[in-house]
Structure 1
């Protein structure tokens, strides 16, 4: 097995329950993650699945420290980042990127596509001047299968699949070590889904980044991911390589998920045919 890029130990997370917040005072907290321990192998795509409310999105955002855990360790590339403050995390942000579920709301409507991709390059000092950032942004657009002319367009001028490609370009332009993909194909039509998944597989092979892929679609996870973590009510009920998990699931909940969602027998080339 590959070395672990992430090693998570006894991770706990709670968040304010805003639905029960009193008029005065603080909201009570609700437990989200309950003592999770697992590893994310370097260079692999790890799927995180579970029903709505299982905690999978909160887990992903805690991994990249958009959320601060209550307790536990998140060891990233040998360093515990669980308790780091914003200033200490800043040098690590380039290596911890996210592709959001909604490609429209995550893109600034007032900026061109080129500026959207170039801004993080300047922020993280990957580029030191505007011209260099523009060149790298154009290169990133090419990598995700969009023409250079799209740099002058605005998000509202693009289709959903094209906007998601821009979100991917923004992430991969920084050449991160880890990318969190949070339900990134759930709002796309079947054809666009297949194209985006094929793109991710191509980029991973070329750039060798590590990815956590959050999804409720087990057929997608089955085809894309090397390993799968199954979550239920804030706990991990199963963690195994993809073939083993789908062929011989050990937990009743995993079997229920597998059996309740159509899982077509897909050919190895179905994404390439899209």
Structure 2
């Protein structure tokens, strides 16, 4: 059975870029009689905005989304993440790291997603260093997969990323571990999300192999960018969805995703737009680009 999911972070209200990912994941699952789950990725508690999670749920309901099962909250799942970390520790695949951000910045090179950890603590803590975080050991074996939209992908973690953090110095579990554990435990078969997360996928596949998990199919849709080429996000001051014309918003998302919705559909009600979208959804029509300017 196809099982997809939408996993927003409650750091503020949904915006047009969020709606793109929600619509794509929903249609990919529901057009094939699958299940669509909702997960609140609220691990990074310092960044959470009070009330944002409930606002996101209400907004999704207003736009006609229906999800299967209970909403799960990552902030309530530390026991699952700790169990996975202990499995990796028992397999000798992770190690404690005592490096500060400044120390890493002073000796690291830039990779495709920030600084590449230079491996300072890989062979044990030196001097008077104390454990701050837990990192997973990576190697130079290429991680290859074929994305359902972006095509063949390859990444060498040792070169491009370095040993990455699974549990942070502040005691919070890292996104990369939590998302892998949750996708496995929820039985997610298809991950449909924005292409800004494409470079994270090899790290997640690496962890899946290390934990003896299966890997879902991945489909990364283009992200919406502003005129400056920046991804629409709360950091780039993307405007929240105001819900004043939900039918037109949904039509614009379908247009953005290459589905060629009829212009006249904008005059129909929300239910009619969803019915059309369900019947005509085609992954093959989604632009094979990482981003598109609105």
TM-score, length of structure 2 as denominator length: 0.30
Which is higher, the Rg of structure 1 or of structure 2? 2
TM-score, length of structure 1 as denominator length: 0.31
More strand by share: 1
